[in-house]
Chains A and B, each alone.
Chain A
Amino acid sequence: MTAQTLYDKLWHSHVVREEADGTCLLYIDRHLVHEVTSPQAFEGLRIAGRKPWRNHSIVATADHNTPTDHWDKGIQDPISRQQVETLDANIKEFGSLAYFPFKDLRQGIVHVVGPENGATLPGMTVVCGDSHTSTHGAFAALAHGIGTSEVEHVMATQTLVAKKSKAMLIRVDGELGRGVTAKDVALAIIGRIGTAGGTGYAIEFGGDAIRSLSIEGRMTLCNMAIEGGARAGMVAVDDKTIAYLQDRPFSPKADQWDAAVAYWKTLVSDEGAVFDQTVVLQAADIAPQVTWGTSPEQVLAVSGKVPDPAAESDPVKKGSYERALQYMGLAANTPLTDIPVDKVFIGSCTNSRIEDLRAAAGIAKGKKKADNVKLVLVVPGSGLVKKQAEAEGLDKVFIEAGFEWREPGCSMCLAMNADRLEPGERCASTSNRNFEGRQGQGGRTHLVSPEMAAAAAIAGHFVDVRTFT
């Protein structure tokens, strides 16, 4: 038998049928649902008189619209409230394996909630009406975002109409330096391949530096595969994957555990498997990263300077650099460490897990935020992450540093709730997108790791976390 990539294995084990043009029906094991991209899908089922094919594939939570403070007052914005209540009603009507509504202890960002409950398992296909579904590929699952029509299609048929992507291997060799995180690896990769570099591909991340990442680090990395253009990112199963899944609520129970583990261990790319493209980075070359523009590919090592559009020969690129600098309010050749920040956001499906919060707290401990920094928001990814952080006293570290400790949700990653930047405000953010207006109209986002965000909050400007004391 020919050597297969991990992606080949995941794909072929889910093909229900294939048409002559290569269009397949792909069986879907897990369907994650949130309030923003599901109401029209449920409505479609209702209009057509259809029922979900297998409602126990559904794990749902409310995350995008939920406020991160004053939970006693409920959701103030009436249209946000309506959307969340619509999800409540739809789950009640159509059913699910699990639903973590607003204020539930296990509520949180859908991509944090799934894995921590063992609802994402190796070998699964995982979909969600959310582009950051690629996160779940950290468990050697085939996971990607879908649109709302597809949400309805999966609900009604348990399948997706899909065509196989090409396979890309991104290998990071060697050992990451101190202060260099999964987020920096993700940003460095996007800086290399560009935001469209992965278009049409499913990416497998491999190499020593990837193997050395924790499962949470791998989730951060796979989360940002979509920012490199790839719908799906994935990492092969190893002992860390299996250890993480032990005793999670929806993980296989004792009588099925050994069989599951035996299967999971096959979820690696075979020796000699052929990828359509391979990209190799050296871990030692990766420094803490800071984005300077309005696309995740506009990123540099923290020691860098804002680029000069005049030095760019490609006219489309030159134009986008000029627009980015104008929007970001930055002058060419400014050292990144000279850029002051107004707000700091530590959270999002990229960086809101317990290890992220520990890392940020490690920097903030015993220090105070700079006077020029108006607000530092720390938003845990879920109620369980929040509880764990409080058990470790991390909340106190943040509060003593002058940071705000909030309730879980998507928050200022996309600013659908009340947490947002005002026009012109500059933010060091652990989220995933620095698009114009993403964190609030006119807001200026710089993407960084949790350590770098915490250090910027203390210093008042970007600093190299490796030399920060």
Chain B
Amino acid sequence: MKAFTLLNGLVCPLDRANVDTDAIIPKQFLKSIKRSGFGPNLFDEWRYLDHGEPGMDNSKRAINPEFVLNFPRYAGAQVLLARDNFGCGSSREHAPWAIEDYGFRSVIAPSFADIFFNNCFKNGLLPIVLAADIVEQLFREAEATEGYKLVVDLEAQTVTTPAGASFGFDITAHRKHCLLNGLDEIGLTLQHADVIRSFEAQRKAQQPWLFV
């Protein structure tokens, strides 16, 4: 996994609540058996004017000029600013894969759906919850100022605006450690293989019907 430490990234504001993972990456792209290459189809139904299918040459498709991701001023954005309940719906990890593959490294919102939030951390993508009034302020500033960037400092757990206003965010020690160091979680867990094995043996003795 890609490590996340410090980011000074252009902000793209997506002003909609309840953005679901079907919208983030529509189902037809889930037929892929790979975990990369989803970026060109991020928000496919909003981003393009035609119907997208896997295997199309996306550079030749008509883009929707009214969709925020297509505004020239947001080209190369690395911070996605979003509204409440971002990432609701399907558990598809293709959603964070698509967001990360597009070039975003962090998503900031007042709230996230649980499964999506969890999936982000497995992919070097940092989801940050900030209070609704702060997110509202960031929306106003990002929309008003071309080239608006935010500094995301994971070590310090802060988001800092160009004017120097700084906001703290929460993250568990475990997730922070994994993200800062780009660690493979499976490898970490397997360091406890003996503990898992003895737990399992005990469980098997107590509830043998679970081990057919």
Interface residue stretch chosen among A75-83, A108-116, A381-389, A451-459: A75-83
Q: Which residues of A contact B118 (CB under 8 A)?
A: 146-147, 150
B122 and A150 contacting across the interface, CB-CB below 8 Å? yes
Least CB distance from A163 to B in Å reads: 7
What CA separation (Å) do A414 and B31 show in the bound complex? 13
Q: Is A121 located at the chain interface by the 8 A CB criterion? A: yes
Chain B residue with Cβ nearest A48: B186
B118 closest partner in A (C-beta): A147
Question: Which residues of the partner chain B approach A323 to less than 8 Å between Cβ atoms?
Answer: 16
| Contacting pair B173 A16 (CB below 8 A) | no
Interface string of A210-252 (1 = CB under 8 A from B): 0000000000000000100111000000000000000000111
Q: Known contacts A65-B31, A121-B209, A199-B85; is A437 also within 8 Å of B23 by CB?
A: yes
In whole Å, how far is B95's beta carbon from the nearest beta carbon of chain A? 9
Query: Known: A147-B91, A147-B118, A196-B84. Contact between A436 and B209, CB under 8 A?
Result: no
Select A149's contact among B55, B93, B193, beta carbons within 8 Å.
B93
Q: Chain A's nearest CB lies how many Å from the CB of B120?
A: 9
Q: How far is the CA of A415 from the CA of B27 in the complex (A)?
A: 8
Separation in Å of the A238 CB from the closest CB of chain B?
A: 19
Let me know if A27 is at the binding interface, CB within 8 A: yes
* Interchain nearest-CB distance for B142 vs A (Å): 16
- Chain B 49-87 interface mask (CB, 8 Å, partner A; 1/0): 001001100000000000000000000000000011100
Q: Hey, what's the 0/1 contact readout for A145-178 against B, CB within 8 Å counting as 1?
A: 1111110110011110101010000000000000
Q: What A residues does B15 contact at CB under 8 A?
A: 319
The contact size tier of chain A is: 35 or more
- Residues of A close to B192: CB separation below 8 A: 16-17, 25
Known interface pairs A150-B122, A437-B22. Does A19 touch B91 (Cβ–Cβ under 8 Å)?
no
Assess whether A271 is interfacial by the CB under 8 Å rule.
no
Contact check: which of B55, B172, B189 meets A22 at CB < 8 Å? B172
Least CB separation from B32: chain A residue: A79
A43 vs B34: C-alpha distance when bound (angstroms): 9
Contact B35 A250 (CB under 8 A): no
Asked if residues A260 and B30 are in contact (CB atoms below 8 Å), the reply is no
* A123 and B122 contacting across the interface, CB-CB below 8 Å: no
B31 in complex: contacting residue of A83, A146, A149, A226, CB < 8 Å: A83
Contact of B33 among A25, A39, A200 (CB under 8 A): A39
Q: Give a binary string over A48-62; 1 marks a CB under 8 Å from any B CB, 0 the rest.
A: 101001101000000
Q: Is residue B182 within 8 Å, beta carbon to beta carbon, of the partner chain?
A: no
On whether the beta carbons of B33 and A27 are closer than 8 Å, the reply is no
CA distance A442 to B30 in the complex (A): 19
List, in ascending order, chain A residues with CB within 8 A of B91's CB. Answer: 37, 129-131, 133, 145-147
Docked pose: A319 CA to B84 CA in angstroms? 13
For the complex, is B137 an interface residue (Cβ under 8 Å from A)?
A: no
Q: How far, in whole Å, are A295 and B85 apart by their CA atoms in the complex? A: 12
Residues from chain B with Cβ under 8 Å of A437 in the complex: 22-23, 26, 45
Q: When the two chains form their complex, are residues A159 and B196 in contact, meaning their CB atoms are under 8 A apart?
A: yes
Residues on A with C-beta less than 8 A from B122 are 147, 149-150
For residues 100 through 159 of chain B, which have their beta carbon under 8 Å from a beta carbon of chain A? Answer: 111-115, 118-119, 122-123
Residues of chain A lying within 8 A (CB to CB) of residue B89 = 131, 226, 433, 435
Does A2 lie at the interface of the complex (its beta carbon under 8 Å from any beta carbon of B)?
A: no
Residue of A nearest to B92 (CB): A37
| B34 surroundings in chain A (CB, below 8 A) | 40
Given A147-B122, A161-B174, A437-B45, verify A416-B28 contact (CB < 8 Å): yes
Asked if A71 lies at the interface with its beta carbon under 8 angstroms from chain B, I say no
In the complex, A295 Cα to B83 Cα: how many Å?
A: 15
A274 at the A/B interface (Cβ < 8 Å)? no
The smallest C-beta distance from B64 to any residue of chain A, in angstroms, reads 13
Residues of A within 8 A of B209 (CB): 121, 251-253, 256, 259-260
Q: Which residues on A sit within 8 Å (CB–CB) of B33? A: 39-40, 43, 82-83, 86
What B residues does A124 contact at CB under 8 A?
210
Residues in B with CB closer than 8 Å to A317 are: 17
- Max chain B CB contacts within 10 Å: which of A25, A80, A157? A157
What are the interface flags for B178-212 relative to A under an 8 Å C-beta threshold, 1 for contact and 0 otherwise?
A: 00000001100110110110011001000111111
Cα–Cα, bound, A293→B111 (Å): 21
Let me know if B166 is at the binding interface, CB within 8 A. Answer: no
Instruction: Report the bound CA distance from A230 to B85 in whole Å.
Output: 12
Interface positions of A from 74 to 104, Cβ below 8 Å from B = 77, 79-80, 82-83, 86, 97
Query: Quick check: is A263 within 8 A (CB to CB) of the other chain?
Result: yes
Cβ of A72: which chain B residues have Cβ within 8 Å of it? none
Are A16's CB and B212's CB within 8 A?
no
Other-chain residue from A123, A157, A230, A251 in contact with B189 (beta carbon distance below 8 A): A157
Beta-carbon contact of B196 and A16 below 8 Å: yes
Residue on A with the closest CB to B34?
A: A40
Provide the residues of chain A in CB contact with B83, threshold 8 Å: 316
Docked pose: A83 CA to B32 CA in angstroms = 7
State whether B22 touches A37 (Cβ < 8 A).
Answer: no
Which residue from chain A places its CB closest to the CB of B210 in the assembled complex?
A29
8 A/B residue pairs, CB under 8 Å, sorted by A: A36-B31, A40-B93, A82-B31, A147-B92, A152-B186, A319-B16, A437-B45, A441-B45
With A23-B172, A414-B90 known, 8 other A-B pairs at CB within 8 A are: A27-B196, A53-B196, A146-B115, A159-B196, A196-B18, A196-B85, A260-B209, A316-B17
Q: When A and B form their complex, which 8 residue pairs have the shortest distance between CB atoms, in order from nearest?
A: A149-B122, A252-B209, A147-B93, A147-B119, A145-B91, A39-B33, A23-B174, A196-B85
A residues whose Cβ falls under 8 Å from a Cβ of B: 16-17, 19-23, 25, 27, 29, 36-37, 39-40, 43, 48, 50, 53-54, 56, 64-65, 77, 79-80, 82-83, 86, 97, 121, 123-124, 129-131, 133, 144-150, 152-153, 156-159, 161, 163, 165, 195-196, 199-200, 226, 229-231, 250-253, 256, 259-260, 263, 295, 316-317, 319-320, 323, 414-416, 433, 435-438, 441
